[in-house]
Chain A
């Protein structure tokens, strides 16, 4: 059995303005207590100008808020979430819930999802 636990999933940005700076800050804050590394990357094939945003396809450490904000994740876009470390489970659940809850903001209307 691997000494390092890992969980992965695809999450979706469901608020109305995308994953902005404050969301990135909040994300870092909520992960502060966990022994876990959390990475996000853009799921390929979603943007017409993807070539220009190649960096967004690489895993980004959620400890670096500028990098997370620079993903420029727009409403409706899907991100690949990877969590590793001893606190993998609770950290994973927390991040997934944060995404599902539209970062505590207003949700995108269902017809736009």
Chain B
């Protein structure tokens, strides 16, 4: 049993078979072979060694000729490794004695050597482990041949364990069978985290290196609630998690029954629950759980993982699909929030020392006007299929808002001269996620149709905490009194002007804050689709008066710890299963 602690990025618990993705993105299977197949499997192994050797010799010759002897020597070393008698006999022994498939035997034996190299402190020798991985991959390629499995063609349920996953790998994967993710690298806003949350499958990232210790087919538990990964769990651990999983399933079934009921307090105050989505297929999750609409449609995925920027038709196609699927329910599309940790083409600007304080989001849009206009045109055109609102992220100053609105009017003028149908009366709103915007919120509400509070960035900028930095993450508190005051002021400013205010960001998806926020006057929540049923269940079990009482008391507390303790207690008292 091996236990790893990583960062929990998508909740839930899943138990299943590991699929280990090599750096080349294919699976290393564990298959046992039948005793009477050993001889033929050994022949297959011999052939793979022979073919790999021939292939390397060709590389050696051409590289030597093109670049020089010194580089050719690297391949010569690989040939020599393949000819190592002891290595060969060890691999064969795994097949003969333990009935491992040649693929698994190669993987197990070579990884053992790689570990030996990695253990040597001297970095020069340690780097040689990569040579071993290289040879492993080459042998596997020859062994697997056309049977090479990629994420796109898995045919049975798997948990994907990888060093890191690229957008293109996850884009093409078979969603039916991938049940969880673990990556050695990555943080809370990594691509894997976003995709896992969207797919609603448990995921843990940033575990540090462990792939050399696990093989395909090993039983793995991913605990996406606590950020734990357990490889080859002992019976006791396995039983505990299986029980936990059953309980979670029966709770989910119970909540399904809430689907058609409104989110209304027991004394009749109605709250609108919207869904946050990134990928079009998440629309189904929202509708299945009775969302009132899409409160936050993130559009970054269109820009990531593609070499080319999406053209207007691509934008239009995707937005139309989502809007049509929502069947008349409102959809709020946020213009691209790129930069910082989400960079199109994966190329960070050369001197971006503080990406979160740098050229990102609306700032980037206002500098890349062509890109921005293309997106706005597509949104306007798609808005004929249903009620659509457009929302600008990370607005800091009134000038930025005005500039963005000016570009929008410009695009509308252009469209009026074109033959495309579109909706010119589109509602325009902004994200409130920079403290400066809250300070000036009374001015902002004069110029927008709605507000949406983005707590993730608001917390980071207000409390000056990078939540992907484990040394300070404990200072990142949604319930900090400073944050609550900013939210309070924003809700009041919107109320005074009678414009809707929504709250997206992770705070809205946590039942811990639901009663408090309702008590503070929030009537629109935009939550991750997975959280919809439990937030609804909670709202349906309390009175507005109770919520107001909670809000009043919390506002008298002066520190995050006391507030959290109080909220946890209040939640536990009412719905212990959510606490």
Contact = CB atoms under 8 A, between A and B. Distances in A.
Interface in B112-160: 113, 116-117, 119-122, 124-125, 128, 131
Pick from B73, B124, B125 the residue with the most CB of A within 10 Å: B125
Interface residues of B, number: 21
Contact of A64 (B73, B86, B120): B86
Contact of B77 (A22, A63, A72): A22
B200 interface: no
Nearest to A16: B124
Nearest to A67: B86
A67 B84 contact: yes
Interface in B66-87: 73, 76-77, 80-81, 83-87
A96 interface: no
B85 A17 contact: no
Interface of B: 73, 76-77, 80-81, 83-87, 113, 116-117, 119-122, 124-125, 128, 131
Contact of B80 (A17, A52, A65): A65
Interface string A53-91: 000000001011111011010110000000000000000
Pick from A20, A64, A65, A66 the residue with the most CB of B within 10 Å: A66
Interface of A: 17-18, 20-22, 24-25, 28, 49, 52, 61, 63-67, 69-70, 72, 74-75
A18 B120 contact: yes
A72 B84 contact: no
27 contacts: A17-B125, A18-B120, A18-B124, A18-B125, A20-B124, A20-B128, A21-B81, A25-B73, A25-B76, A28-B80, A61-B86, A64-B85, A65-B83, A65-B84, A66-B80, A66-B87, A66-B113, A67-B84, A67-B86, A67-B87, A69-B128, A70-B113, A72-B120, A72-B125, A74-B120, A74-B122, A75-B122
Contacts of A75: 122
A67 B81 CA distance: 9
A66 B116 CA distance: 11
A72 B119 contact: yes
Nearest to B123: A17
A21 B86 contact: no
Given A25-B73, A52-B119, A72-B116, A65 B124 contact: no
Pick from B77, B80, B85, B128 the residue with the most CB of A within 10 Å: B80
B86 A22 contact: no
Contacts of A67: 84, 86-87
B119 A66 contact: no
A54 to B, nearest CB: 12
A30 to B, nearest CB: 13
Pick from B81, B83, B85 the residue with the most CB of A within 10 Å: B81
Given A17-B122, A20-B125, A70 B77 contact: no
B106 to A, nearest CB: 13
B74 to A, nearest CB: 8
A59 B135 CA distance: 25
B71 to A, nearest CB: 12
A26 to B, nearest CB: 9
Contacts of B122: 17-18, 74-75
CB-based closest 7 A-B pairs: A66-B84, A65-B80, A17-B124, A72-B120, A64-B84, A66-B81, A25-B77
A92 to B, nearest CB: 22
A65 B85 CA distance: 9
Nearest to A26: B73
A63 B88 CA distance: 13
Nearest to B82: A66
B123 to A, nearest CB: 9
Given A70-B116, A72-B119, A22 B84 contact: no
B76 A64 contact: no
B520 to A, nearest CB: 59
A58 to B, nearest CB: 11
Given A21-B128, A25-B77, A74-B120, 12 more contacts: A18-B124, A18-B125, A21-B131, A22-B77, A24-B80, A65-B81, A65-B83, A65-B84, A69-B117, A69-B128, A70-B117, A72-B120
A2 to B, nearest CB: 26
Contacts of B83: 65
Given A65-B81, A67-B86, A70-B113, A22 B120 contact: no
Contacts of A74: 120-122, 125
A11 B81 CA distance: 24
B75 to A, nearest CB: 11
B133 to A, nearest CB: 13
Contacts of A22: 73, 77
Contacts of B84: 64-67
Nearest to B79: A25
A28 B87 CA distance: 16
Nearest to B135: A66
A66 B128 contact: no
